[in-house]
Structure 1
Amino acid sequence: MLDIVTLLNQIDDVMYFPILIIVMAAAGLYFTIKTKGVQIRLFPESLRILLEPSSDENSVSSLQAMLVSTASRVGTGNIIGVSTAICLGGPGAVFWMWVMCIVGASSAFIESTLAQIYKRKDSDGKFYGGPAYYIEHGWHKPKLAILFCICLIVTYAVGFNLLCSYNLQSTFIDYSFYNSLTPYIIGIVIAVLTGYCLLGGGKRIVSVTSTIVPLMGLSYVAVALIVIILNYANIPAMFVLIFQDAFNFQSIAGGLAGSCLVYGIKRGLFSNEAGVGSAPNASASADVSHPAKQGLVQTLSVYIDTLLLCTATALMCLSTGVARDAAVSGAPYVQNAISSVFGFAGPVFITVAMVMFAFTTLLGNLYYVDNALILLNGKKMPSKRFMNIFYIAATVIIFIGAIIPMDAAWAIADITMGAMTLINLPTCMAMGKTAFKCLKDYESQKKQGKEPVFMASNIGLSEEELHHWK
């Protein structure tokens, strides 16, 4: 097993440095320059759009689509991912997460705008789409669209769920009852619960957790703020530590693959998924008058995930000054930080939050693959028998995730996510002109005092090229 883990880590290291760092930086900077910093410049406009109601009561609004994509982003990565980055990469990883967020938000704008332009409508009048559809219908590369679908399925059904399951069980490590059998027990419980919900039962469980998770997210931010405020004396030194480590280029150059720079980019990407190609699947479902609206709204989702939730974890941990090293990377570091203020209640709160985040993430990840399976099955839903077999296999993967080594769980998630990104971002760069024209059309109509309404001819596309827009 160790040899396999070593191989996975080597692939992971090479994929992110130099390949993905260059691709992500090039794409993010290119989109930022070409859109004149749309993710910052039109931030107030994105807030205004968020509150717009849908024109049809039965359709999905911008806010609803944004909440779906935010729910898929928010999860164990906001807690465990940040902790791992700080413990293994250093405090400077927080700064590079921020950079990744702001630059990457432009990629989120482009991919979600393209998803809106090339979205489809089913027989029930509901919209759907995503990268596979703009790759196939916009870039006219159906084979690449199929490859992207396969990568998405492997990422969400395997990579992310293995890691989510591992992260969930790791929150129990510091409890006295934890022993060598605990991961197996936790793995069986969450696999059975997830399988039960996927196979048609557990609707009440899904409903309850979906309601609780947003409240848990707000509670988590509130608890983090309390910890930070009570450690206010350490705040100046904490920021000095973050920036000193972030710009310690001698240290970064000495071990780049394990540096704060690479860990910040890795964990930032895992958390906010900007440019990965996941959020566009949700973005395509929104009923808006102009594609650029959903692109703008999706930049907010990236900010909420990283600048709010990830930053809350980072500052809470660093402000307490508790020991950080490889031995406590993951849940223990966060639990140690929160227990310094709340005692035993702190780790219990983190465990409850992780259980809620992880469970909804596991279900959300598997629902995300539906669009990909439909496209691979000739644009129609696979048979119920096939889906049942698929869900059973997915629950087995969840069990395996609880018992594999931490390095293997992170490496598999990084590699599969990286594969999606390496297809989606170059596609977005190749199709960028379409999104740029769309943004220009939106701003032109706004300057004329109009409520922007999109027409294909406005950006040089024909109705035949698009499925929904005239």
Structure 2
Amino acid sequence: MVDFFQSAGSGFREAFYAVFNVLWGDFITIPLPGGGQLGISLLVMILIPSGIYFTIRSRFMPFRLFPEMIRVVTEKKTSGKYGTISGVQALIVSTATRVGMGNLVGVVAAISAGGAGAVFWMWLIALLGSSTAFVEATLAQLYKEKDPLYGGYRGGPAYYIHCLFKKKRGGKKSILACLFAVSGLVCWCGISQVIGNSVSSAFENAFQIPPLVTTVLLVALAAVIVLRKNATVRVLDIMVPVMAVFYLLITFYIILTNITTLPGVFQRIFEEAFGIRQVVSGGLGAVIMNGAKRGLFSNEAGSGSAPCAAAAADSSHPAKVGLLQALGVFIDTLVICSCTAMIMLLTPEAMTSGLEGMALLQTAMQYHMGNAGGIFIALIIWLFSFSTFIGILFYARSNIAYLFGDNWISQTLYKILALIMLFIGGLAAYSFVWDLGDFGVGLMTIFNMIALFPLAPQAMKALRDYEQQRALEKVKRKGVEN
């Protein structure tokens, strides 16, 4: 019997990593000058062309309508119904989950493997990913439903996938929608454990606090928030702006104190993004792919996560929520990820040579801030990770409801499961769980993109309608002024 279970476990692991490698491994390889090669994963093959396609179809929306994105953020908010959230609050929730460990350790890993040039490709991918984020968020608004449990609205890819295939085949449930919802729940459980481990490790290194103490306090605080009915958004309303501003201020301080070396940093980024040295050494593939992967999966565009928050927004027009989520991609990659990159690249290369991961980031911070750098990193990791945990449980609401119906039992059980994973992760690190999170988000992306292309014309129609309405408003305003 023991041999049977060991064999079954081994078989599961082999099957798991077979699928994992298809999603994240080198699906195809392209030879490069200098003897190197460019390995392209299946997900990158899907998401980059999709971003280009949606950017062209939207008539380069990220560039044309960036001022409109800012205007929508700053416009006067109207009071919504009980349980609803505004478009800006939906942006805050999605930003809470985008701005997580990927903005710290992920950027460090990209630069460690791909050099400074990876930053340029992160920026480029963000510009393309914002169009994809617009499409999926707008569709989430178009197909949202009323939420009888929490009040307000709910939705996301599971719901617009359901509507797409229900129209064609009928039935109560869509298999593809169920697969998306299950993949999301698996992914977010894995991320919960990663968060627990990241926070406990950071506090042990910075303050010598035993992991058990940190984990118990972390889980207790998380339970107080997530087990309440509607505390999630209220907490993130305060937490996300504070942590973003705090991180920006520290980065601006570092930039100002190293202002004379800043031109050299930008020169290094662009030289290594296209540099002859990288081509000759065979390293150009690593530069491009590490930047592309980090840009794609830090901002989550196309994965279907952020639409779960976008659907909950009460907005006067679906396209407004789409524009806000497109802006969220800019905030994540062009602002927060760039902050992390600047912190590292403004550190003398001699000090960081041979280092990678958290050791690289901690060394950079100690160079800029002395011993306070370690404390800063620990606090930032806690803020980023904790906000991610709260945000993913907000995402989970709609997926649980789709799978199990409207009941508090399933909603509460998943929250308890996530808290257990948070606790386990705080005490021990299991590499399989990191892979489990990547596995889940990879499958989510595949299932989401299958529906995104046939439904995209509806998002483009909503964008045209919104632009026409805005043009009429401007004409009326000029008429009144004259």
TM-score with structure 1 setting the length: 0.83
Q: Aligned partner of 2:185: which letter?
A: I
CA contact (8 A) 1:271 1:306 kept: yes
The verdict on how the C-alpha distance between 1:61 and 1:363 changes in structure 2, with shifts beyond 3 A counting, is closer
The answer as to 2:130 corresponding to 1:105 is yes
Is the contact between residue 135 and residue 427 of structure 1 (CA under 8 Å) also seen in structure 2? Answer: yes
Quote the offset at 1:420 in angstroms.
0.9
Matches within 5 A, 1:124-143: 126-140=152-166, 142-143=174-175
Match runs of 1:2-401 below 5 Å: 7=17, 10=21, 12-14=24-26, 17-58=40-81, 59-123=84-148, 126-140=152-166, 142-158=174-190, 160-172=191-203, 174-175=205-206, 177=208, 182-183=210-211, 186-195=214-223, 197-200=225-228, 211-248=238-275, 250=279, 256=285, 259-322=286-349, 323-324=351-352, 327-330=355-358, 332-378=359-405, 380-383=406-409, 386-401=410-425
Following TM superposition, by how much is the alpha carbon of 1:245 offset from its aligned partner in structure 2, in angstroms?
Answer: 2.5
Distance in 1 of aligned mates of 2:388 and 2:398: 17
Q: What amino acid maps onto 1:165 in structure 2?
A: G
SS in 2 for 1:320: coil
Q: CA RMSD in A?
A: 3.2
Contact 1:338 1:347 in 2 (8 A): yes
**Is 2:442 aligned against 1:418?**
yes
Q: How many residues are treated as equivalent by the alignment?
A: 439
Cα 1:253/1:397, change in 2 over 3 Å: farther
Question: Which amino acid is the alignment partner of residue 157 of structure 1?
Answer: C
Offset, 1:52: 3.0
Q: Are the equivalent residues in 2 in contact too, given 1:164–1:362 (CA < 8 A)?
A: yes
Question: SS in structure 1 opposite 2:75?
Answer: coil
User: Is the contact between residue 39 and residue 109 of structure 1 (CA under 8 Å) also seen in structure 2?
Assistant: no
Structure 2 residue identity aligned to 1:426: I
Alignment check: 8 A CA contact 2:397 2:411 kept: no
- Name the amino acid aligned to 2:93: V
Q: What secondary structure does 2:346 align onto? A: helix
Q: 1:405 to 1:325 in 2, by over 3 A?
A: farther
**Gaps (5+ residues) in structure 2?**
1-9, 28-38, 477-482
In 2, the alpha carbon distance for the partners of 1:19 and 1:266 equals 11
- TM-score by length of structure 2 reads 0.81
Can you list the C-alpha shifts for 1:111-161, whole angstroms capped at 9, x where unaligned? 011111111123586122111111111453721111111111111122x22
Q: Equivalent of 1:429, from 436, 450, 453? A: 453
Cα deviation, residue 325, structure 1: 5.9
1:405–1:212 CA distance, 2 compared to 1 (3 A): closer
Q: CA deviation at 1:186?
A: 4.2
8 Å CA contact 2:139, 2:160 repeated in 1: yes
Query: Are the aligned partners of 2:347 and 2:367 in contact in 1 as well (CA < 8 Å)?
Result: yes
Whichever residue aligns with residue 132 of structure 1, its letter is A
Identity within the alignment, % = 36
Whether the 8 Å CA contact 1:276–1:424 is kept in 2: the answer is yes
TM-aligned CA deviation for residue 19 of structure 1: 0.7
Unaligned 5+ runs, structure 1: 453-470
